[in-house]
Amino acid sequence: MLGPDNLTLSGEWSDTGKGKNGEDVTIKGYWSTIYRREGEDWKVCLSIFNWHITPPPAAAPSPTASPSGQ
């Protein structure tokens, strides 16, 4: 415990952005913030976050394509 004058919050976030070729990419991560009470106010003491970009899956091969050895 950080004590009665400190508050911690954390969570997960996500969004969709655009890749180099205009394709949708998923962006997600985690965040955490620590607040400290100073008199009647709560002030941010520490705020951190991270992110990870998930690229779209590779295109599946065409079902009509034949192996190159045939």
Q: What is the pLDDT of residues 20-55, one digit of tens each?
A: 888 889 999 999 999 999 999 999 999 999 988 877
- CATH number for the domain that contains residue 36: 2.10.70
- Which pLDDT score, from 0 to 100, does residue 59 have? 63
Confirm whether 33 is domain-assigned.
yes
Q: Which residues contact 37 (CB under 8 A, 6 or more apart)?
A: 4, 5, 6, 7, 43
What residue numbers bound the domain in which 44 lies? 6-54
pTM, whole model, 2 decimals? Answer: 0.63
Confirm whether 28 is domain-assigned.
yes
Q: Which residue has the tokens 């962006």?
A: 27
Angle CA 56–62–64, to nearest 5 = 170
Confirm whether 44 is domain-assigned.
yes
Confirm whether 66 is domain-assigned.
no
Confirm whether 62 is domain-assigned.
no
CA distance 32 to 14: 14
Look up residue 21 and give its two tokens.
Answer: 């070729």
Confirm whether 50 is domain-assigned.
yes
Name the percent of the chain lying above pLDDT 70.
79
